[in-house]
Amino acid sequence: MTHPPTYSSVRQPVIARQGMVATSQPLAAQAGLFVLQEGGNAVDAAIATAAALTVVEPTSNGIGSDLFALVWHEGELHGLNASGRSPALLTRDALPDDPDGKKTMPTHGWLPVTVPGTPRGWADLHARFGRLPFARVMAPAIHYARTGFPLSPVLAQNWARGIRAHAARQGPEFAEWTRVFAPDGFTPRAGALWASEGHAQTLERLADSRAEAFYEGELAARIDAHAKGSGGLLRAEDLAAHTNEWVKPISTAYRDHRLHEIPPNGQGIAALIALGILDGLDLPDWRDDERGLHTQIEAMKLAFADAHRYVADPQHAPVPTEALLSSAYLAARRALIGESALDPAPGDPNAHGTVYLAAADRDGQMVSLIQSNYMGFGSGVVVPGTGIVLQNRGHNFSLEEGHPNALAPRKRPYHTIIPGFLTREDGTPVGPFGVMGGFMQPQGHLQVVLNTVRYGLNPQQALDAPRWQWVGGKTVEVEHDLGAAAARALLARGHDIRVNLDPNAFGRGQIIWRDPVTGVLTGGSESRADGLVAAY
């Protein structure tokens, strides 16, 4: 029999029936709820929330982000890949050399900038599923940008961290960031007010043009001019060529449920591989049993080894998705798990900045949406007068020649952001969920699904439960709530266990589950963040 958890949830789950929005910033959640109450559906609410998040949580996302979404609509799950491609001018020759003469990709500045997919992602979602006028859905975000809003506590901490990091960056491409996000007299603390008229005007142009101004209009021209004037490679032609892609979600079964993810170039397949490996193993009934934790960690390491080897832009390199999720392959990977820690030696995962939201309406439509600059404020490049922070997704390209994810012009990089969706094996929807945080994301998906399906935790408990994170080699970070006994037992199995006291390192999640009979919605919001489940 499964044992209940020994730790307490910080919050109680929120239960409602008419509609629900869960995200990491309370004002953004309220924007989505407002749109639901105005007669909008879950997609309208998701777009309103996502647009508001670019204003009220710029430490993790912005207008210049990428976006992925899963939409449950009329009995079917739809996937949208709104990630952008590298500039046509970006080649290995454009990269600087490190002290050993090897090419290196900077984390900030123009070189890691790829075409943002988020603005057109909002428009594509609305065109296919939206109910209210697009301008009406964008109105709350415009209001927050123009009139200002008070910073929440975790947001203020991350903003201050961003200012400290940005202080070391020099060059004309970084000047506008300081003017917008660290103006004279502004100190990021809880309750401090911040506004951006440039951001408001940009959102208005997006609302009026259904995002076309970003790719072929005035905004595209301003991005092009700033790049040309400060050493960037992004051009108007790159923006004009951008398209998003509707994709068929991929999935794997665990017990009587099924986890759904966006296919590569995203890393959701890592969560599916790990869950598929565990589906053939008998985990202990106690959630924090060291044998079960060890098995989960080993499955996740094997999954990451495959993801880092094969995930790439499928338009440039074939990704063996079906083979990686086949029962025979999963069985072979499962057989590698023993009593001691393995070292499959892929890259060194670590956490970064992302926002996630889940939305559901009274009619059964549900949305799992995630968007991100990648590393906090992204590249640190802000287009003058617009509030547009450009992402630094290009940092995730491989510089290994011949690798499927190798840097190339007009190519989508390996992507860390992944929305999740859970159904029962018979196809009945359970609901949307996600866990933000770079390479923590598939690890968070795995732990949330196990917490829910294997251990019977409600959405809030599933998020509040202590987490672990594999960060490379045999090193695993754990939260202190996991307990000393479990940590010592994992050490004895060969894991290099490190206690990390920073809650930001373990991701920030949101969950909405829907009762298939009554339609009642139950939501949880990350206690490690400022988040809120807004419902009515």
Q: What is the mean pLDDT of the chain?
A: 94
Alpha carbon distance 428, 300 (integer Å): 27
Taking residues 178-206, report their average pLDDT. 97
Q: How high is the pLDDT of residue 4?
A: 52
Alpha carbon distance 368, 523 (integer Å): 13
Are 144 and 157 contained in the same domain?
Answer: yes
Among the ranges given (100-104, 111-115, 138-142, 145-149), the one the predictor scored with the smallest mean pLDDT? 100-104
User: How many domains does the structure of the chain reveal?
Assistant: 2
Please check whether residue 122 lies inside any domain of the structure: yes
> Is residue 131's pLDDT more than 50?
yes
Are 338 and 471 contained in the same domain?
Answer: yes
> Is residue 110's pLDDT more than 60?
yes
**How many other CB atoms are there within 10 angstroms of residue 243's CB atom?**
12
Residue-wise pLDDT for 417-472, tens only, equals 999 999 999 999 999 999 988 889 999 999 999 999 999 999 999 999 999 999 98
Are 220 and 328 contained in the same domain?
Answer: no
Which residues are the active-site residues?
Answer: 354
Please check whether residue 6 lies inside any domain of the structure: no
Q: What's the domain range around 283?
A: 247-351+416-523
Are 374 and 315 contained in the same domain?
Answer: no
Please check whether residue 199 lies inside any domain of the structure: yes
Q: 7: number of CA atoms within 13 Å, CB side?
A: 20
The pair of structure tokens assigned to 432 is: 């949307």
Please check whether residue 427 lies inside any domain of the structure: yes
Are 163 and 309 contained in the same domain?
Answer: no
Alpha carbon distance 233, 48 (integer Å): 31
Radius of gyration over alpha carbons of the chain, in Å?
22
CATH of the domain at 338: 1.10.246.130
Taking residues 195-214, report their average pLDDT. 98
The pair of structure tokens assigned to 490 is: 């994992």
Taking residues 104-131, report their average pLDDT. 97
Alpha carbon distance 227, 39 (integer Å): 41
Q: How high is the pLDDT of residue 6?
A: 53
Q: How high is the pLDDT of residue 351?
A: 41
Residue-wise pLDDT for 357-392, tens only, equals 999 999 999 999 999 999 989 999 999 999 999 999
Taking residues 324-340, report their average pLDDT. 94
Residue-wise pLDDT for 26-81, tens only, equals 999 999 999 999 999 999 999 999 999 999 999 999 999 999 999 999 999 999 99
Contact predicate 305/346, CB 8 Å:
yes
> Is residue 148's pLDDT more than 50?
yes
Residue-wise pLDDT for 336-349, tens only, equals 999 999 877 433 33
Are 314 and 374 contained in the same domain?
Answer: no
Give the CA distances from residue 241 to residues 82, 114, 115, 178, 206, in Å, rounded to whole numbers and listed in that order: 13, 12, 10, 30, 18
Contact residues for 127 (Cβ-Cβ < 8 A; gap 6+): 210
319: β partners: none
Are 38 and 133 contained in the same domain?
Answer: yes
Please check whether residue 53 lies inside any domain of the structure: yes
Using CA atoms in the order 222, 228, 233, 235, what is the torsion angle rounded to 10 degrees? 40
Q: How high is the pLDDT of residue 346?
A: 39
Please check whether residue 404 lies inside any domain of the structure: no
Residue-wise pLDDT for 212-251, tens only, equals 999 999 999 999 999 999 999 999 999 999 999 999 999 9
Are 282 and 204 contained in the same domain?
Answer: no
Are 80 and 44 contained in the same domain?
Answer: yes
Are 202 and 279 contained in the same domain?
Answer: no
Residue 147, burial from CB neighbour count under 10 angstroms (0-12, 13-18, 19+): exposed
Residue with tokens 């020649």: 401
Helix H or strand E segment including 391: none
> Is residue 503's pLDDT more than 60?
yes
Residue with tokens 């595209």: 220
Alpha carbon distance 247, 83 (integer Å): 12
Please check whether residue 164 lies inside any domain of the structure: yes
Among the ranges given (162-176, 306-320, 346-360), the one the predictor scored with the smallest mean pLDDT? 346-360
Please check whether residue 256 lies inside any domain of the structure: yes
pTM of the predicted structure, to 2 decimals? 0.95
Contacts 24+ apart (CB under 8 A), 12-15: 12/460, 13/458, 13/459, 13/460, 13/461, 13/522, 13/523, 13/524, 13/533, 14/522, 14/523, 14/524, 14/525, 14/533, 14/535, 15/520, 15/521, 15/522, 15/523, 15/535
Give, rounded to a whole angstrom, the gap between the first and last alpha carbons of the chain: 35
Alpha carbon distance 90, 88 (integer Å): 6
Residue-wise pLDDT for 251-273, tens only, equals 999 999 999 999 999 999 999 99
The pair of structure tokens assigned to 333 is: 């990977």
Are 142 and 270 contained in the same domain?
Answer: no
Are 375 and 434 contained in the same domain?
Answer: no
- Look at 137 and 350; give whichever has higher pLDDT: 137
